[in-house]
Amino acid sequence: MSFTHSFDPTSLREYDIRGIVGKTLHPEDAFAIGRTFGSIVARKGGKTVAIGYDGRLSSPALEAALVEGAVASGVEVLRVGRGPTPMLYFASVTLKADGAIMVTGSHNPPNYNGFKMMLAGKPFFGAQIKELGDLAAAGDVVPEAAGSVRDVHLKDDYITRLVQDWDGGDRKLKIVWDNGNSVAGEVLADLVTKIPGEHTVLNGEIDGTFPAHHPDPTVAKNLEQLIDTVRRTGADIGLAFDGDADRVGVVDDKGEILWGDQILVILARDVLRTHPGATIIADVKASQVLFDEVAKAGGKPLMWRTGHSLIKSKMAETASPLAGEMSGHIFFADKWYGFDDALYAAVRLLGIVARLDTTLSAVREALPETISTPELRFDCPDTRKFAVIEEVAGRLKEDGSDVSMIDGVRVNTQDGWWLLRASNTQAVLVARAEGNTQAGLERLKVALTAQLEKSGLAAPDFSGENAGH
């Protein structure tokens, strides 16, 4: 049977394949991904593909079609079942799978879904995703063959491995977890029985309609229930997950949010005690405070491009034991496998808090104070967004500004810094500014606005200010 398939072009993203179910993403797409990715694995001499899925209502049907497509390429599918994306990564690593695919819409609204992939233990992204689309369109796949399916039950092994690195002793913390109806629900229910403490789990039931709130812990509004519960119960810490549990949100004992870079400061100090001089990686959206604190703790701070696949690749290249993004992706290679896992990051953070002779809020309050805008996202056509960055960079270089071009432009001034970058996944530009003072922040916003106006764009909406730290 001959095979060709064309994907909706909007679904082929930089880091994954993702779309609106029934509009830009269908079971036929899932079959085509299985058929084409299975062929890529087979042509490289691979034999096994691990497949898992999240708790969205559309995920079981997409997973079934995906498995069918992979089997038709002659590979053995290791069917991991429903669970967090990191559990699928764990399966890929521990079972030494040649490829891995996770059906997940991550933190997107309930009507979205998608696919995250790994090939030979490394992220499958960028040009590889484009190539998969091209191969499917050309019908360039291996001849149809009868592969096989093996159900793999890894949940208990995964939980055992998570708990293995608990280093908080017997201190019983008071912990609030907001599962956010994410796919981590069943794993979390077991995990809390194995970590000392008094545990409260909110929204523990896996529900792909996300009835409690949107499953994105980087948005303050989504943490309101967690904050309220932490304050009401006098808890030591609150933890939240996104829809597939590869990103973590943290609230301290006062109910204040710790943003991604603040979480990373606390984890980095701990990791650097056993890895002095190690490289700690964070994305370009992170606070200058993070890079300064890593250096102070004896580490080598490295600013890198935003995107979980890019960060993982850079970690492997630099032998970094720890990396993180503002979006709440935390990557441990210290004792762990280098992939982002909210549950594992939670276990390690809880261990640190249990060993503190002070509160988590005291640690947060001791960090240097800055004032920042939230991450500002504003529309800019795909055909224009990268050109705008080039224009701004050109002008900044001409006037001798202190500018980093690792990912977009990040400009350092005496007042702090501002960032402008093109999103890899949407027709938007992303901006952020962080000042040492309110007046300094205002000057940074003026400078950013002036550059946008020179490229014919209006200033972003700076309302909802000072969400930073």
Active site residues: 106
Cα–Cα distance for residue pair 434/379, rounded to 1 Å: 22
Give the containing element (helix H, strand E) for 330.
Answer: strand 330-332
Bridge partners of residue 251, in order along the sequence = 238, 257
Bridge partners of residue 332, in order along the sequence = 322
CB neighbourhood size of 56 (10 A): 28
Please tell me the chain's helix, strand, coil percentages from 3-state DSSP, rounded to the nearest 5. 35, 25, 40
Contacts of 387 (CB under 8 A, 6+ apart): none
Both structure tokens of 143: 């001849």
- The upper half-sphere exposure of residue 458, i.e. CA atoms within 13 Å in the direction of its Cβ, equals 5
Give the containing element (helix H, strand E) for 309.
Answer: helix 308-318
Q: Are 139 and 32 in contact (CB under 8 A)?
A: no
Bridge partners of residue 241, in order along the sequence = 248
DSSP string, 47-64: -EEEEEE-S-TTHHHHHH
Q: Are 31 and 38 in contact (CB under 8 A)?
A: no
Tally the residues of the chain: 469
DSSP string, 346-413: HHHHHHHHHH-SS-HHHHHHTSPP-EE---EEEE--HHHHHHHHHHHHHHHHHTT-EEE-SSSEEEEE
Q: What is the 3-state secondary structure (H, E, C) of 205-236?
A: CCCCCCCCCCCCCCCHHHHHHHHHHHHHHCCC
